[in-house]
Amino acid sequence: MNNPTLKEIAAQLGISITTVSKSLKGYSDVSEKTKKAVIELAQKLHYTPNSFAVNLRTKESKTIGLIIPTLVHDFFSNVIRGILEEAEKRDYLVIILQSNEKLEFEKKQIDLLLNKRVDGILMSLSNETGDFEHLKSIIAHNTPLVLFDKIAKLVSCSKVTINDKKAAYDAVSYLIKRGYKKIAHFRGSYLPQNAIDRFLGYKKALEDNGIPYDSSLVFVCDNNTDFEDGYENAKKVIDEHPEIDAIFAVTDLVAIGIIKYFNETGISIPKQIAVLGFSNWFMSSVISPKLSTIDQPGFEIGRRSASILFDEINLKKKNLPVIFQSIELETSIIEREST
């Protein structure tokens, strides 16, 4: 089954390609009669426009690119769902690439998407990403870019995040209100903005509540294997600081690693030590004890990011100025059994 072209339809009806094209696109300067004949034949032949030709002509691909650190991740899966939903509404397709938390890959993926001439790019940065030259090349190509979740404050483009600092501040304040006093923090790597902000929120909450900040209670989880990071550092914290009464983890997966270690060693949660996660993964509601955590609206982050990107694509098409937005979505504390 060969794909029919405008040319073939035109030939069969004995009219010009132009008229066929106009008929199919609903132009008004075609007689009802010819229009009808064209549409009928087109349907009969299952005509669909050759997207390669359309792309070339219109310089649009009707495709956007998405680069995320990793796919196997509840949060990102939900982000993708949100993005796909928005894209579908607008008849856009989405090319998905993983950076595997590597800057080197991230650069490569950007080049791939730019060469493919996608109409826009959505990104969450890798943990390794400390400089942003490669992002500037996107902007230099005049390709709309929206960063979400793991963003770079210094890059000028729209951003969709939660207020990580505030969320962490509220989380730790909540722990303090519940009576916990010796609160450890299992933080993320040093580069990602959200890890930094969560750490700062933790610190500020302590200080504002008259609890001195103690850097020896902060443990870094930067092996990109959150779960094991949590497990190993739980071991360490018990060794070095058996007196703690709570842990605020940068991620549910880290928290689940902690829970596993505590369950294995008979440390009772939350009686001996409370555990508070971050993100509200599905898993956190089925583990025992059920994990208290911060709800981070992944689906909504995806939806908003995509929606903003499409707006920018449209503005650009109309040669209108784009005003970059920085959206911060609301989070909330989910109280379960671990705190």
Partner DNA sequence: TTGTAAGCGTTATCAT
Partner DNA sequence: ATGATAACGCTTACAA
Instruction: Kindly state whether residue 289 participates in binding DNA, applying the rule CB under 7 A.
Output: no
CB half-sphere exposure, 85, CA atoms < 13 A? 14
Q: Which stretch binds DNA (CB under 7 A): 54-62, 64-72, 201-209, 285-293?
A: 54-62
1 near a copy of itself, judged by CB under 8 A: yes
Among 49-57, 94-102, 188-196, 330-338, the segment contacting DNA (CB under 7 A): 49-57
Strand 158-162 relative to strand 145-148, pairing: parallel
Compute the distance between CA of residue 80 and CA of residue 71 in angstroms, rounded to an integer. Answer: 9
Query: 268 φ, ψ to 5°?
Result: -85, 130
Question: CA 19, 25, 28 angle in degrees (round to 5)?
Answer: 70
**56 or 320: whose CB is closer to DNA?**
56
User: CA-CA distance, 219 to 214, in Å (whole number)?
Assistant: 11
CB nearer to a copy of itself: pick between 78 and 233: 78
Helix axes 17-24, 32-44, angle to 10 degrees: 90
Write a three-state SS string for 137-155.
HHHHCCCCEEEECCCCCCC
Q: Give the C-alpha distances (Å, rounded to integers) separating 59 from 111, 251, 288.
A: 18, 42, 54
Q: Which of 97, 172, 301, 313 binds a copy of itself (CB under 8 A)?
A: 97
11 binds DNA (CB under 7 A): no
Structure tokens, 305: 């990011």
**H/E segment holding residue 313:** helix 298-317
**Half-sphere CA count of 287, side-chain side, radius 13 A:** 24
| Closer residue to DNA (CB): 57 or 271 | 57
> Could you tell me which of 294, 298, 129, 94 has the C-alpha nearest to residue 202?
294
- 5 vs 137, which CB is nearer to DNA? 5
303 touches, from a copy of itself, DNA, none (C-beta below 5 to 8 Å by class): none
The 57-86 site mask, x for binding DNA (CB under 7 A), equals xx----------------------------
94 or 220: CB nearest a copy of itself = 94
Determine the interface stretch with DNA among 12-20, 103-111, 118-126, 145-153 (rule: CB under 7 A): 12-20
Residue 268 touches which member of DNA, a copy of itself, none, C-beta under 5-8 Å by kind: none
The verdict on 56 binding a copy of itself (CB under 8 A) reads yes
Check binding of 104 to a copy of itself (CB under 8 A): no
Cβ proximity to DNA: between 57 and 318 the closer is 57
Angle formed at CA 62 by CA 56 and CA 65, multiple of 5 degrees: 110
CA–CA dist 292, 334 (Å, integer):
6
Residue whose CB is less far from a copy of itself, 78 or 307 = 78
Site for DNA, residues 148 to 177, rule: CB under 7 A: none
CB of 149 to a copy of itself, least distance (A): 16
Residue 314 binding DNA, by CB under 7 A: no
Which of 220, 218, 217, 152 has its CA nearest to residue 190? 220
Residue 339, CB half-sphere, CA atoms under 13 Å: how many?
30
Q: In the beta sheet, which residues pair with residue 148?
A: 160
**Contacting residues toward a copy of itself, per CB under 8 A:** 1, 3, 48-53, 55-56, 59, 61, 63, 71-74, 77-78, 80-81, 84, 91, 93-98, 112, 114-117, 140-142, 227, 256, 259-260, 263, 282-283, 286-288
**Contacting residues toward DNA, per CB under 7 A:** 3, 5-7, 14-19, 21-22, 24-25, 28-31, 33-35, 47, 49-50, 52-54, 56-58
